[in-house]
Amino acid sequence: MKKHLRLLPFILPGLVLYAVLFMYPTISALYYSFTNWDGLSPSYQYVGLQNYVKVSEDIIFRKSLGNNVKFMLTVVLIQTVVSLLLALQIYKKSKLNVFLRALYFLPTILSSVSVGFIWTFIYDSNLGALNKLLQIIGLESLAQNWLGNPGIAIFSIAAVQAWAHIGQMAVLFVAGLQSIPAEIKEAAILDGASQTGLFFRITWPLLAPAAAIVVSYTTIQSFKAFDLVFTMTGGGPNYATEILSTYIYSSAFLNYAFGKAATASVYFLLLIAVITFLQFKLLRTDRVSY
C-alpha cells in the first residue's frame, strides 16, 4: 500500500488535468442537457428528457447525423486504403522513402483552417484549380460546383479531410510494416506464396494492430472536423454539410440553446463510443491467426 502511495504524486497532475479538462465538462454537459439554460441567464429550469425528445425529432439534427455518417465512411475508406497503399511503397529504408514520408506527412502539420481556405480556392467553381485542370485534360464535363452542390459538398470536404491526414496514417502503417519479421515473409516466399497471398495471409493479419489504430483514430478525426467544415461551407448549402459538431456550435452560440446543445453533445459522445467499440470488436487483434 505504501508503495502505491509513493506513486501518487507522479500520477496526480495527470489525474487533475483529466478531471478538469474532461470529467468536469462531461458531467456538466450531462447536467445541462436536462435544463433549458440559454448560456447567459443565471437561472434555468429542469426540463427532464424534453431536450432529448426535441433533439431526436429535430430534422436538422437528423440531417447532421446522416451527413456525419457519410463523412466518416468516406474519410475512413479513402484514408485507410490510400495510406496503406502509400505505406507499402515507402516502408523500406532508403533516403528516397524517408523524404517521401516527410513529404506525405507535411499536410498534417498545417492547421485545419489553413487547409480549409486552400481547398476552398481549389474548389472554386469559376477560378478554382480543380475545374481548370479538368478543362485542360479534356474532362470539363466533370467540372462541378464542388462546395455549392448539396449532393456532393459533404464528399468534397471529406476528400480534403482524407488528403490532410493520409500521410499521418501512412506513417503508422509504415511502423506496422517494419515491425513484421522478415523471416516470416521469406519463409512464405520459399513455400511458393504469391505476392497477393503474401499480403492477405501474412502482411494484413500482422498489420491488424496498426489498422485498428488507424481506423479508430480516423473515425474520431472525422467527427471532430468542425474547423474544416466551418471554414469551407459553414454547414451549407441548405445544411448539406452540417455535421454534429457544427450543429452543437449553432445551437449553443448562435441560437443560445445551451441545454439543447448539451443534449446533442451527449448523443455525439454516445455515438462515438458505440462506433469505436464496434470497430475494436471487428478488428480484435487476439483473433488474428498467422
User: Omega of the bond prior to 13 within 30 degrees of 0, cis?
Assistant: no
Closest-CA residue to 88 (of 185, 192, 212, 220):
185
Residue 6 included in any domain? no
Residues 6+ apart with CB under 8 A from 55: 61, 260, 263, 264, 267
- C-alpha 103: how far from chain center: 21
Domain membership of residue 170 (yes or no) is yes
The count of domains in the chain is 1
Between 162 and 189, where is the model more confident? Answer: 162
Q: Mind listing the pLDDT tens digit for each residue in 227-254?
A: 999 999 999 999 999 999 999 999 998 8
**In this predicted model, which residue has the larger pLDDT, 3 or 131?**
131
Close Cβ partners of 114 (under 8 Å, ≥ 6 residues apart): none
Q: Which of 50-59, 105-114, 173-182, 275-284 has the lowest mean pLDDT?
A: 275-284
Predicted pLDDT of residue 154: 97
pTM for the complete prediction? Answer: 0.87
Q: Is residue 40 part of a domain?
A: no
If pLDDT is split at 50, 70 and 90, which confidence band does 287 have? very low
Residue 284's pLDDT band, with cuts at 50, 70 and 90, is low
Q: What percent of the chain has pLDDT above 70?
A: 96
Does 17 fall in a domain? no
| Range(s) of the domain holding residue 150 | 58-287
* pLDDT for residue 290 is more than 50: no
* Band of pLDDT at residue 288, cut at 50, 70 and 90: very low
> Is 138 inside a domain boundary?
yes
* CB distance 262 to 30 below 8 Å: yes
95 belongs to a structural domain: yes
Q: Which residue has the higher pLDDT, 100 or 189?
A: 100
Q: SS3 of 94, please? A: coil
Residue 38 covered by a domain = no
CATH number at residue 281: 1.10.3720.10
Q: Retrieve residue 145's grid coordinates.
A: 460546383
Evaluate whether residue 205 is within a structural domain.
yes
What pLDDT score was predicted for residue 289?
43
In whole angstroms, give the CA distance from residue 240 to residue 155: 10
Q: What is the pLDDT of residues 32-71, one digit of tens each?
A: 999 999 988 888 999 999 999 999 999 999 999 999 999 9
Mean pLDDT of 136-159: 94
